[in-house]
Homo-oligomer: A and B are copies of this chain.
Amino acid sequence: MTYRLPSLNALRAFEAAARNLSFKTAASELGVTPGAVSQQVKKLEASLGVALFSRLPHGLLLTVEGETYLPKISKIFEDLTDATEAIAPEINGKKFKLGICPKAMAILPPNWPNQLGKLKAHVRDAIQTTDVELLRNNEIDCLIRLGGGPYGELSLVTVERGEDTNEASVPLHFICKPGLADCRQSRAILEDLAANAAPCS
């Protein structure tokens, strides 16, 4: 019962590219460069011995094989996500407790994150703190701060908030345990932060 399988990275690249019919869009969805997507798709096609895309002079088109493959691969990714969330509720289903430092609060909307919106599905509540130890204790799941650090083995993501024209401006940081950096909740929070934080001063 062994399996002969293409690489997962290559499949992800294919799936995103096929869904968007664009390497560029797929790349930004996956957080890599278009060249990487192009390479992965090419590798997949080589390993299968079948072309999945027709490269037209202007844009992409799925071949018959690609058209057949796409829905199956999408479904497999969904199944995998479901299976994974089923056993890792700690990570995938849990609502986050946030820690926010006072200075960060100042550049966020008045009662963020307690607004109606997508964030409600991912955030339980928020407390005001600057204490990184609370992260290590699991008393909070992530910490939102202005500047600070370093944070050792903790993951740190800098929130995008427009053109930084002021050299002295302090970056807005999202800090969490490494295992949580890429999870659904963190992504939602980061997205919301990017949309709602005041631009760099």
Contacts and interface: CB of A to CB of B under 8 A. Distances in A.
The size bracket of the interface on A is 35 or more
A83 interface: yes
A137 interface: no
Interface of A: 1-9, 11-12, 16, 19, 29-30, 46-50, 65-66, 68-69, 72-81, 83-84, 86-88, 90-92, 179, 181-184, 187
A6 B84 contact: yes
Given A76-B83, A83-B69, A83-B72, A47 B179 contact: yes
A144 B6 CA distance: 26
Contact of A29 (B2, B76, B91): B2
B88 A50 contact: yes
